[in-house]
A and B are shown apart, each in its own frame.
Chain A
Amino acid sequence: MKKAFLNCLIAALCMVLIGAPMASAKSYPKKPIKVIVPYSPGGDCDLTSRVWADFAKKELGVPVVVVNKTGGSGMLGTSFVLRSKPDGYTLMLAQAGTALLVPLLAGANYDYNDFTFISRIMTANCGIAVRKDAPWNTLEDFVKDAKANPGKFVFASPGATTWVTLAMTNFEKTAGLKLKHLEHQGAAPAITSILGKHADVTFVFPQSYAPQVKSGNMKLLALGEKTDKFPGVASFEDQGYAGNYFGWGGITGPKGMPKEVVEKLNAFNKKLTQDPKFIQTLANTHADAGYLNPEDFAKAVSNQNKELTEVVKSIEK
């Protein structure tokens, strides 16, 4: 009797030991995942997060819920995520603004080292846009005109702490231009200013310029990278200005996430960025799927941070 009991105990123990690693690998995710959006609903971060959540829910088998936590130009939502437990159940779609700029410019209590970078999933081909009837057709035309008339032309900025404004400032420094900066709260008011002739040029994300360019109200002078969607528009690099002129977004979590969780999410993202349905849905928001694995993603972010720190330092001088 005792021997049988002991045998059972040993058998049970063996089963537990064998089953345990399998159980913990299968155990993520075992409860709903929260994707935090540090901005209000409807914006590009919100939309992309919701699209990702939709696909993730089907693949991972648990509810994936988007929660908006707005405030402080994205600081509130971001610091909430970074202070959460790094167990893979609180994630966010990080972008240049939240991960790099807010810490650099607004003195947040975190910086890009506090993130676990899982995978980059999208890129956005940002571009310089002007009114259809503007006298410039290429970037060179504009640069020549602006150099000859320092302080005359107005740049409609989507916001002092946005990445596009800093990138534009960087461009101005490289090209030796002096433009007036008209600050707006977001890209839409900036575009309105251009159309209403209160400003001359702007640098925005595709979802803002695409409808206007397609309808003929505005034209592009340069893009982050050449694309078939807008034939005839040269990229920044083609016109002689190297640098990071496209936006990105990637899935991240707080620092210290377990390797298996990162691997699982990364594998899903890799598959996702090749899924034609995902690419099509992203295209609705005028973004492109752009996959980078965790190491490359982290490296790209750190490089961009170096670049932006230089720009910020040179502005503050």
Chain B
Amino acid sequence: MLENIISGLFSILSPGPLAGIALGVTTGLVFGAIPGISGIMAIAILLPMTFYVSPLIGIPMLLGIYKAGIFGGSISAILLNTPGAPPAVCTAMEGYPLTVKGKAKKALNTALTASVFGDAFSTMLLIFVAAPLSVITLKAGPSEKFCIIILALTVVGSISGPSIIKGIICAGLGIWVSTIGVSETSGATRFDFGSGDLIGGISLIPMVIGLLCLPEVFRQVGTMAGGQAEKAKLVLSKNKDDNRFTFKEFLYCLPTMIKSSCIGSVLGALPGLGASPSAFMAYSEAQRSSKKPEDFGKGAIDGLAAPEAANNATTGSAMIPMLTLGIPGDDVTAILMGAFMIQGITPGPTIFYEHTHLIYGIFGGLIVCDIMLYLITKAGFNIWIKLAQLPKYIIFSCVTVFCFVGAYSINQSLFDILTLITFGVAGLLMNKYHLSVGAFIIGFVLGPIWERAYDQSMVISDGSFSIFFTRPIPVFFLLLSLVAVLSIIRTRAKAKQRLEAQALKT
């Protein structure tokens, strides 16, 4: 059996699989980086191709797209302030201010190192601890999930900006909007106002692209129209250090990266949660425990590393329930499962015995993915930066086109385009009145999972709330949430004091 494992790991080092991974990583980067288009689209398009090649080539290629796609979204978040997907929201909050200060390359390098760190962390976890970790997946029943989400919602406190109340309102609005459509529990339709289109609910991607990318486009248009064309150019600092992620900074961020990778790995192994809650939670925790929390929002290095490490850490661990139990954790792993099954390989408990060689080949592929991600991305940085230095009217026209194409391509539905535009305007207004778009998105993403966990818990407990207080794991997460809330209040109070002290000095 050991020889099978070792030969499996080395089987990936042949031209076919390596070419497949390189193709996958490059495709994922490009698709992920273009606002409006995401890695999952690339996966869906290339999925049929994998039917015709050996699984050792096809599956690592899809995995390459998956991992690179998550980082790709961060590129546009940092350079253009247009996150392509929810996990990149926190990245944009810290990365873009760095770009504005001329430190774009530092931001990109930080994000890349953190992402590969998180990626490698969860790949190692997958290879060595898959079986015990799958126990987490099983133990997380409805009441556990409900309390984990309460903890996840506390991040609203960290990302709301100046006013927590406004942040809570936005999160609440997000949760409400997520109920539009068919309820899975009762089959009833809610808030559809009789419209056949609303019955399907609001699509996540057009909404997110609208909220995150279009307002930036409008803002840039405003800047150009206001005759401030000079301000609009992307400038690179001449300081060498500002272009690198220095070793000292790496050490400073290391504890944060490890913590964030752990958060990402645990949340990734829980089916349904995924990269967005992980990124937000890691960001919130980094802010809470940072030595310089007042830098957050203005380009804090550890604030950038945290969500990046977390969102890539979900990739390896999301494969754990898929491989060990045959349960897909999110829509990407669902497609991956389909790719496995079409090749006659059924993910599940037997896969490690029936297909040892192939599985370890795929694990080897994951490691190679990480290496290639680092090399290919770093090689491409100058290209991305040169692109970002093009005149803004070219960049943002292209961004707009891609946003509309991306939104339409999901379901070929004009209603999605309407969603895109509506939320684009909403995003603009929200930014103007300091309402947190991130809080709204987190509410929208977590709402359905929270509601389902609540409904299920109530069925099991026959309507009694005691189920949340009498089981150890839910109680643990409730206490953690309490700690998080108190700590956020304290951090804000301290920050306010510091501001007032500074104001008195001047």
Cα–Cα distance between A188 and B327 once the two chains are bound (Å):
5
Total interface residues in chain A, CB < 8 Å: 56
> Shortest distance in angstroms between A157's beta carbon and chain B's nearest beta carbon?
9
A174 within 8 A of B: no
Q: B181 and A72: CB pair below 8 A?
A: yes
Of A176-184, A244-252, A300-308, the stretch lying at the interface with chain B is A176-184
Q: B338 and A69: CB pair below 8 A?
A: no
28 contacts between A and B (CB under 8 A): A41-B47, A41-B331, A41-B338, A42-B335, A42-B339, A47-B341, A54-B51, A68-B411, A71-B199, A71-B411, A71-B413, A72-B181, A79-B196, A180-B459, A181-B459, A183-B456, A188-B271, A191-B326, A195-B138, A196-B141, A197-B138, A198-B460, A210-B346, A211-B346, A211-B349, A212-B326, A216-B349, A281-B342
A137 within 8 A of B: no
Q: B325 and A67: CB pair below 8 A?
A: no
Q: Which of A182, A191, A217 contacts B460 (CB 8 A)?
A: A182
Q: B349 and A42: CB pair below 8 A?
A: no
Q: In the complex, which residue of chain B has the Cβ closest to the Cβ of A154?
A: B460
B interface footprint on A136-166 (CB within 8 Å = 1, 0 otherwise): 0000000000000000001000011100000
> Shortest distance in angstroms between B335's beta carbon and chain A's nearest beta carbon?
4
Collect the chain A residues with CB atoms within 8 Å of residue B459's CB: 154, 180-183
B321 within 8 A of A: yes
Enumerate A63-86 residues with CB–CB distance to B below 8 Å.
66-73, 75-76, 79
Of B93-101, B155-163, B184-192, B393-401, the stretch lying at the interface with chain A is B184-192
A interface footprint on B425-465 (CB within 8 Å = 1, 0 otherwise): 00000000000000000000000000010011001100000
Enumerate B131-147 residues with CB–CB distance to A below 8 Å.
137-142
B272 within 8 A of A: yes
Q: In the complex, which residue of chain B has the Cβ closest to the Cβ of A76?
A: B200
Given contact pairs A71-B200, A76-B413, A192-B321, A160 touches B271 in the complex (Cβ within 8 A) = no
Enumerate A36-76 residues with CB–CB distance to B below 8 Å.
40-43, 46-47, 50-51, 54, 66-73, 75-76
> Shortest distance in angstroms between B53's beta carbon and chain A's nearest beta carbon?
14
Collect the chain B residues with CB atoms within 8 Å of residue A212's CB: 326, 348-349
Q: With contacts A79-B196, A192-B321, A212-B348 known, what are 18 further pairs, Cβ within 8 A?
A: A41-B47, A41-B338, A42-B335, A42-B338, A43-B338, A50-B48, A73-B182, A160-B184, A182-B459, A183-B455, A188-B327, A189-B271, A189-B272, A197-B138, A198-B141, A198-B456, A207-B341, A212-B349
Q: B334 and A42: CB pair below 8 A?
A: yes
Given contact pairs A43-B334, A105-B187, A160-B185, A285 touches B341 in the complex (Cβ within 8 A) = yes
> Shortest distance in angstroms between B86's beta carbon and chain A's nearest beta carbon?
17
Q: A182 and B456: CB pair below 8 A?
A: yes
Q: A196 and B140: CB pair below 8 A?
A: yes
Q: In the complex, which residue of chain A has the Cβ closest to the Cβ of B339?
A: A42
Enumerate B148-178 residues with CB–CB distance to A below 8 Å.
none
Total interface residues in chain B, CB < 8 Å: 56
A214 within 8 A of B: yes
B290 within 8 A of A: no
Q: In the complex, which residue of chain B has the Cβ closest to the Cβ of A46?
A: B338
A193 within 8 A of B: yes
Cα–Cα distance between A105 and B186 once the two chains are bound (Å):
10
Q: A189 and B327: CB pair below 8 A?
A: yes
Q: A211 and B51: CB pair below 8 A?
A: no
B293 within 8 A of A: no
> Shortest distance in angstroms between B67's beta carbon and chain A's nearest beta carbon?
18
Collect the chain A residues with CB atoms within 8 Å of residue B137's CB: 192, 196
B253 within 8 A of A: no
Cα–Cα distance between A189 and B455 once the two chains are bound (Å):
14
Q: In the complex, which residue of chain B has the Cβ closest to the Cβ of A161?
A: B187
Collect the chain B residues with CB atoms within 8 Å of residue A70's CB: 200, 410-411
Collect the chain A residues with CB atoms within 8 Å of residue B325's CB: 191-192, 195
B228 within 8 A of A: no
Enumerate A192-220 residues with CB–CB distance to B below 8 Å.
192-193, 195-198, 207-208, 210-212, 214-217
> Shortest distance in angstroms between B460's beta carbon and chain A's nearest beta carbon?
7
Collect the chain A residues with CB atoms within 8 Å of residue B321's CB: 192
A17 within 8 A of B: no
In this complex, the member of B200, B336, B452 whose beta carbon has the largest number of chain A beta carbons within 10 angstroms is B200
Collect the chain A residues with CB atoms within 8 Å of residue B262's CB: none
Q: A40 and B331: CB pair below 8 A?
A: yes
Q: B334 and A41: CB pair below 8 A?
A: yes
A8 within 8 A of B: no
In this complex, the member of A67, A71, A182, A216 whose beta carbon has the largest number of chain B beta carbons within 10 angstroms is A71
Collect the chain A residues with CB atoms within 8 Å of residue B343's CB: 284
Q: Which of B271, B331, B350 contacts A211 (CB 8 A)?
A: B350
> Shortest distance in angstroms between A141's beta carbon and chain B's nearest beta carbon?
23
Cα–Cα distance between A42 and B43 once the two chains are bound (Å):
11
A239 within 8 A of B: no
Cα–Cα distance between A301 and B336 once the two chains are bound (Å):
32
Cα–Cα distance between A46 and B183 once the two chains are bound (Å):
23
Collect the chain A residues with CB atoms within 8 Å of residue B138's CB: 192, 195-197
Collect the chain B residues with CB atoms within 8 Å of residue A66's CB: 48
> Shortest distance in angstroms between A192's beta carbon and chain B's nearest beta carbon?
5
B422 within 8 A of A: no
Collect the chain B residues with CB atoms within 8 Å of residue A73's CB: 182
Enumerate B274-326 residues with CB–CB distance to A below 8 Å.
321, 325-326
Collect the chain B residues with CB atoms within 8 Å of residue A191's CB: 325-327
Cα–Cα distance between A221 and B438 once the two chains are bound (Å):
47
Collect the chain A residues with CB atoms within 8 Å of residue B51's CB: 50, 54
B44 within 8 A of A: yes
Q: B182 and A183: CB pair below 8 A?
A: no
Given contact pairs A76-B200, A211-B347, A188 touches B326 in the complex (Cβ within 8 A) = yes
B337 within 8 A of A: yes
B201 within 8 A of A: yes
> Shortest distance in angstroms between B470's beta carbon and chain A's nearest beta carbon?
15
Q: B199 and A75: CB pair below 8 A?
A: yes
